[in-house]
Amino acid sequence: MSVHKKLMQARVTLQSTKLQKSGHNKFAQYYYFELGDFLPEIQNIFNNLGLCGVISFNHEMATLSITDMEDGTTLDIVANVFCCAQGLPRSPEPWCSANLLAPLPLGHSHGDRGA
């Protein structure tokens, strides 16, 4: 089975699980998913299908590499890293305070996470 077919199977399996939103914005009164709400389930699904997901970051890009552990084929999902406070690319300088902010894929904001 190809890495693409296994990824589709993982998506369908995750879609059928009942995940609970543990994050709560008290000001705007909405609940949202936190990483701990879905990452353990994704890890179990990937393990059962023989997939391995590895995330890497640099100052410009975030990459999720998904590898089929049976045949070694890999699929890379890449997103631009974006400073959410200023709307500017992250600085290559490690001392820059903008680098302390959470990296987000280009075009996404904190508001997109809560829906």
pLDDT at 92: 54
Spatial separation of the C-alpha atoms in residues 67 and 57, rounded to whole Å: 17
Instruction: Tell me which residue has tokens 């998506």.
Output: 11
Spatial separation of the C-alpha atoms in residues 95 and 83, rounded to whole Å: 14
pLDDT at 80: 84
Spatial separation of the C-alpha atoms in residues 1 and 18, rounded to whole Å: 26
- pLDDT tens by residue, 23-40: 999 999 999 999 899 999
Instruction: Determine which of 46-50, 66-70, 72-76, 89-93 has the lowest per-residue pLDDT on average.
Output: 89-93
- pLDDT tens by residue, 76-108: 999 887 655 555 555 555 545 454 444 444 444
Q: 66: closest CA among 84, 46, 92, 89?
A: 46
3-state secondary structure of 73: coil
pLDDT at 15: 94
Residues 6+ apart with CB under 8 A from 11: none
State the alpha helices, DSSP H only, in the chain.
3-15, 35-49, 110-113
